[in-house]
Amino acid sequence: MDDAQRQFLYDLLTTPSPSGFEAPGQKVWLEYVEPYADEVHTDAYGNAVAVYEGGDSDTEVALAGHGDEIGLMVRDVTEEGFLKLSRIGGADKTVTRGQHVTVHTSDGPLPGVVGQDAIHLRDPDDENGKQPEVTDMFVDVGAADGEAAEELVEVGDPITFSSDVQELEGDRVAARGMDNRTGTWAAAEGFRRAVEAGAEATVYAVSTVQEEVGLRGATMVGFDLDPDVMIATDVCHALDYPGAPQDKTTPHDLGGGPVIARGTQNHPQLVAAGRQVAGDEGIDVQLAASGGPGGTDAVAFYTSRGGTPTLDIGLPNRYMHTPVEVIDWTDLDEVAQLKGTLAARIDEFEPFTAGI
C-alpha cells in the first residue's frame, strides 16, 4: 500500500459526513476514483458511482460501501444557550458525554463539548446506574445565552465527534467513522485494482448515502444500477479484546483477514467464488454466520431488483459506533484485493443460480 492510498483513507476519515450530510465525503471519494473511471456520477441524494466499461463481457459487477457515519443533531437551543440533541443513526449514549464535538453550521465548523457532571458532584450510588439518553444531553459551545447561540447554529445542524486519526502499534489505526469509510475505501481501491487488472466485466464502484438510518442509499442506487452482481463491504465486530461478548455474534480477530458472510443475502455461489479467489491470492479469510435480517447495504441491494446475487465482505473493527474504532491495515488492503480480483474474474463463476 502506497502513501496515496493511505492518505485517501485519512482524507475520508477526517471529512465529516453524517447521514443526510454526506456531500463533503462523497466529493473526496469521487476525486480519488475519477482518474480510473470512464464516467462518474451522483444521484439526487448524493449516492456516488464510478463506471469502468470493461471489455467484451456483458456482466456488470458493483463494488460498494456506505459513505455516511453516525452522529448527533441540534434538536433545540435552550434559553441558557445550550444545544439539545438528537441522534443521527446509532450514536452510542455511553460514549457521548464528556466528548469534544464539532457542530457543522452554515457558516462553518463550530467547536463544542458534550456536558458532563464532574465526578465530585455525582451520587456514588449512581456511578453504575442507567446512562442518560442522548436526548437528555447537551452541547456547550460557550454561548452566553440562547440568543447568542441562535446566532451561531440552527435546529438540524449535524454534529460529529472531534476525534483524530491515530496510528497505533503495528498496522492498527484508530478513528471515528471507520464504519464505514473503510468500506468506501475498499470499494474505490477494489475498483482501481479491477481496472488495472483489465477486467472484462463492466465494474461499478459505489459509495452510498444514509446506510446508518436504514439502508436508504443502497435501495436507491441498487434499483438504478441493476447490476448482475453486487459485492458490498461494511465493518463487522472484532471481539479480540478483554471482556468482549463472544456470544453476541461470530467473533473475529483484527489481522485475521477479510470476513466472508454466509447465509441470507450472501449468494452461495458468490461465497464459494470469494473463498476460491481468496485462496488463489493467498488471503486468509474468516467466516461469519448471517442467519438474521442483517443490517448492511447488501440487504437492500439483493432485493432491490427482484434478486441480485450479492456478497458481504466484512472488515473486522473493534469498538464499533464509538469515536475510537480500530482496524488493521492488512485486513483492509486484503478486502480491497479480494473485491478487485473477484470483480476482474467474475465471468469465471457465472451463472449465479439457486442450484435447484
**Assigned C-alpha cell, 133:** 439518553
pLDDT at 52: 98
| pLDDT > 90? residue 294 | no
Q: Do the annotations mark residue 66 as ligand-binding?
A: yes
The one-letter amino acid code at 24 reads P
- The residues that are catalytic are 211
Q: Do the annotations mark residue 237 as ligand-binding?
A: no
pLDDT, tens only, 19-46? 999 999 999 999 999 999 999 999 999 9
Length of the chain: 356
pLDDT at 355: 85
Stated pTM of the model: 0.96
pLDDT at 305: 86
Rounded Cα distance, 41 and 30, in Å:
9
Confidence of residue 248 (pLDDT cuts 50, 70, 90): confident
pLDDT at 154: 98
Q: In terms of pLDDT, which residue wins out, 355 or 317?
A: 317
pLDDT at 310: 96
The full set of domains in the chain, from first to last, is: 3-69+176-349 (3.40.630.10), 71-161 (2.40.30.40)
| pLDDT > 90? residue 292 | no
Confidence of residue 192 (pLDDT cuts 50, 70, 90): very high
Q: Do the annotations mark residue 151 as ligand-binding?
A: no
| pLDDT > 90? residue 158 | yes
Q: What's the Cα-to-Cα distance from 63 to each of 113, 188, 285, 328, rounded to whole Å?
A: 37, 8, 18, 21
Rounded Cα distance, 290 and 259, in Å:
11
The one-letter amino acid code at 259 reads V
pLDDT at 127: 62
Confidence of residue 126 (pLDDT cuts 50, 70, 90): low
Rounded Cα distance, 327 and 171, in Å:
8
Q: Do the annotations mark residue 41 as ligand-binding?
A: no
| pLDDT > 70? residue 168 | yes
| pLDDT > 90? residue 330 | yes
Task: Reduce the DSSP state of residue 41 to 3 states and report it.
Answer: strand
pLDDT at 101: 98
DSSP state of 210: -
Q: Do the annotations mark residue 252 as ligand-binding?
A: no
Calculate mean pLDDT across residues 169-188: 97
Crossing angle for the helix pair 178-196 and 3-13, nearest 10 degrees? Answer: 150
Confidence of residue 129 (pLDDT cuts 50, 70, 90): low
Q: Please answer whether residues 187 and 25 qualify as being in contact, where contact means their C-beta atoms are separated by less than 8 angstroms.
A: no
Confidence of residue 131 (pLDDT cuts 50, 70, 90): confident
pLDDT at 34: 98
pLDDT, tens only, 57-97? 999 999 999 999 999 999 999 999 999 999 999 999 999 99
* 286-289 vs 259-262, strand pairing mode: parallel
